[in-house]
Amino acid sequence: MTGIRISEGIRMESANQFSIELKIFEQNRTEWSRSHPGEFVVIQGDVAVEEFFDTYADALNAGIQRFGVRKEFLVKQVWMTEPVYCVS
């Protein structure tokens, strides 16, 4: 599995790993931003779970229930413009 190691025992996947999911997100961003701003969506391959979630935890649990723990899926918050977070 490829990825970027950010800390011992934690692995973040590279963006290429989720290129299909990110493409689906971008194709729907405008519509979803209007109807579900700030909510979370779950996408696996070219399939988006039909429900939106108020919290990351709820979306993650729905993704695990739908796709299982051995299948990768993307949980992404819906915003028209991506927020920028600064850590210092």
Q: Does 1 have pLDDT greater than 50? A: no
What is the separation of C-alpha 49 from the centre of its chain, rounded to a whole number of angstroms? Answer: 11
Closest C-alpha to 36, from 25, 44, 22, 47: 25
Q: Which uninterrupted H or E stretch holds 86?
A: none
Q: What is the pLDDT of residues 33-80, one digit of tens each?
A: 999 999 999 999 999 999 999 999 999 999 999 999 999 999 999 999
Please report, in angstroms and rounded to a whole number, the separation of the first and last CA atoms in the chain. 30
pTM of the predicted protein model: 0.77
For residue 84, what pLDDT is reported? 86
